[in-house]
Chain A
């Protein structure tokens, strides 16, 4: 069974530029999560989807971050404009309802 797929794996951009991350969850998983992980820290939730609905986006900086999950499958996380402090690993995870979450490999973002 294929795991959670994320792309790109690495991204380097200049500050103030836009960037987008894509996630394809495990087939059949209705719940999808985006996390941010800084070096030496555990993942922190940005947004949680149940099917197409964002049910918890309280930690998402809405002035520059946006996310969507069309048709309840794939999801895209966007940052516009990116700031130096956004450099981190962005992880996508999925689960069947609220069972254990399975993580993708992450996208490492570097903002110069």
Chain B
């Protein structure tokens, strides 16, 4: 069974204080690792897809990286508007997405 573990559960940063979120996974036949952002009362918003170890993708202050066992979401110089829950998910050989519980990020001004 595919599994995703995200850490930390919650992270509080000061504006401009860079940090990283972790996503550890076990999957049968990786068909993609996905990062989503979820604001309160809204559905998850797609951020990135990574397919193979060593791959990196960037969007504004966010950068996602992938190894064979984990993925990191690096946040550089965050702003208060980056506050949200960040969800990681893996898609295995059955093409089903398995999500982690998410990391609740709070960025204080």
Q: Report Cα–Cα, A106/B99, bound state, in Å.
A: 16
Other A-B contacts than A43-B97, A45-B97, A98-B31, 8 sampled, CB-CB below 8 A, are A42-B101, A43-B87, A43-B99, A103-B43, A103-B44, A103-B45, A105-B43, A106-B42
Using CB atoms and an 8 Å cutoff, list the residues of chain B in contact with chain A.
Answer: 4, 31, 34, 36, 41-46, 49, 87, 89, 91, 94-97, 99-102
- In the complex, the chain A residue whose C-beta lies closest to that of B43 is A103
Using CB atoms and an 8 Å cutoff, list the residues of chain A in contact with chain B.
Answer: 4, 33, 40-45, 48, 56, 91, 93, 98, 100-106, 108
- A101 adjacent to B101 (CB under 8 Å): no
Contacts of A108 in B (CB 8 A): 41
Known: A100-B34, A100-B49. A42 touches B43 (CB 8 A): no
- A98 adjacent to B46 (CB under 8 Å): no
Q: How far is the CB of B28 from chain A (nearest CB, A)?
A: 15
Q: How far is the CB of A26 from chain B (nearest CB, A)?
A: 12
- A44 adjacent to B46 (CB under 8 Å): no
- B31 adjacent to A100 (CB under 8 Å): no
- Per CB-CB distance, the 9 closest pairs between chain A and chain B, nearest first, are A42-B99, A103-B43, A103-B44, A100-B46, A105-B43, A106-B43, A98-B95, A104-B43, A43-B99
Contacts of B44 in A (CB 8 A): 43, 91, 103
- B89 adjacent to A42 (CB under 8 Å): yes
Contacts of B89 in A (CB 8 A): 42
- B99 adjacent to A44 (CB under 8 Å): yes
Contacts of A101 in B (CB 8 A): 34, 46, 97
Choose among A42, A93, A102 the residue that contacts B100 (Cβ–Cβ < 8 A). Answer: A42
Q: Report Cα–Cα, A48/B98, bound state, in Å.
A: 13
Q: How far is the CB of A95 from chain B (nearest CB, A)?
A: 10
- In the complex, the chain A residue whose C-beta lies closest to that of B99 is A42
